[in-house]
Amino acid sequence: MLKVLRFLPLLLLLLAVLPGTVYAQPSSPTIFVLHAEGIINPVLVDYIERGIEQAEEDNATACIIQMDTPGGLLDSTDKIVMAIMNADVPIIVYVSPKGAWAASAGVFITLSAHIAVMTPGTTIGAAHPVSVGDTEISDDEMEKITNFSAKWIQAIADERGRNAEEARLAVTESKSFTDTEALEYNLIDLRADTLDSLISQIDGWQITLADGSTVTLSTQNALVEDINMSAIERFLYALTDPNIAYILLSLAILGITVEIFNPGLIFPGVVGAISGLFAFYSLGMLPVNYAGILLVALAFALFVAEAFTPTFGLLTAGGITSLVTGSLILFKGGPLFQVNIGLIILVAVFFAAFLAFVINSVVVAHRRQVTTGREELPGKTTIVRTTLNPEGTVLHEGEIWTAILDQGRAEPKEEVIIERFDGLKLYVTKIKKGDS
């Protein structure tokens, strides 16, 4: 017992020191890596903001944004720049891999980082603003936008201690820089062949955050964690591609048109409606030209009109012309937001072929009708195709006819009796109870 009491002070000392020793062990530093590839738009903004917030909440050592972008929307760029400059964690923008670029909006984002890095073989620059609205911008207005953008990029460069004059030239003269030139002109801080090389080079750097506090980067043996887009973010980002938006809009028009030509098929109408909803989302994320939207809507109206007022191709020709013209001017904002010409031609040819098939079917049906004789029509039973209230259409022996109901209302798929005809119009009546 005395021996136990003799070692009791030593035991108590160990118990007091051990917890401090355990908790004094530093945890491994963590570096989060985000991937900004493609056009800068609202979906990418949400992803980058989410990644920065997660890095702040997890007390990450740093957050690296690996970027390859041709540019994007000005308001989205503004939100990303604000998120970076007000972050409570060091932000490193890394233009990578080889062959990548940080053009237009990418210049603002790169210069706003605490540390800007480029991979050898990459470029940065050409940040002159372009029109992205639904109306033409006058020369005076464009000059104002350019001057504002030049002052903005100068302010960003000054805040980060970079070459404000060369940054301004990227806006006013669309000047571009290779990675070596960007380093020489003090637009970036480092060149790094790989992510590991970047992490090794920034170890020990002191970074001043937005709140004025200074942190020293400790990146040796850091745990690198990729923060990728979620499945929903990837899906929404894909929808904001101008070509995808155009395909969805075309599917919406086609599906609804087929459903109108053939009521009751259900599937084309459902596909068209869903595609239409996705298309509306896509158009809401992109710089649309309302004149283009109206022309595409006119094309849809002309296609539908062909179903109810057969003109043997006249309305279809007008619709195709309107569709192609609207497609060419559907988006603004330069090459970034243009629909591929080949895709426009493919869609136009497909619509022309489909409607030509429909029109040909109508013509053949009418020729066949002349052979059999219209005098046989009275007394025949036919199927209502579109609601008769009192006028609509009926389907008789493969032919689409304009029909007028004598009284009441007849819904699609109801049977009616042909009383008489006048030219291409049929006068019908509902089948009374007891008739067969």
96 φ/ψ angles, rounded to the nearest 5 degrees: -160, 155
Catalytic residue, chosen from 76, 79, 98, 104, is 104
Paired strand residues for 404: 391, 427
- CA pair distance 334, 60, nearest whole angstrom: 38
**Helix (H/G/I), strand (E/B), else coil: 429:** strand
131 residue type, one letter: S
CB burial class (10 A; 0-12, 13-18, 19+) of residue 417? Answer: middle
Reduced DSSP (H G I as helix, E B as strand, rest coil) percent helix, strand, coil of the chain, to 5 = 50, 20, 30
Pairwise CA distance, residues 47 & 142, whole Å: 30
Q: Are 52 and 21 in contact (CB under 8 A)?
A: no
Q: 114 and 238 in contact (C-beta within 8 Å)?
A: no
Question: Residue 329: what are its φ and ψ, rounded to 5°?
Answer: -115, 20
Tell me how far apart the 2 most distant CA atoms of the chain are, in Å: 127
Phi and psi for 194 in degrees, rounded to 5? -135, 165
104 is catalytic: yes
Q: Reply yes or no on whether 79 is catalytic.
A: no
Q: Which of 98, 144, 151, 425 is catalytic?
A: 144
Place of tokens 């940065």: 124
Q: How far apart are CA 256 and CA 45, in angstroms?
A: 34
- In the chain, count H helices and then E strands: 14, 16
Category of 295 on φ-ψ map: left (φ > 0), alpha (ψ -120 to 50) or beta: alpha
Single out the residue of 390, 388, 362, 376 nearest to residue 420, CA to CA.
376
Strand partners, 402: 393, 425
Instruction: Kindly state the tokens that stand for 292.
Output: 């283009």
Q: Is 161 left (phi over 0), alpha (psi -120 to 50) or beta?
A: left
Q: How far apart are CA 403 and CA 394, in angstroms?
A: 6
Q: Are 48 and 40 in contact (CB under 8 A)?
A: no
Residues involved in catalysis = 104, 144
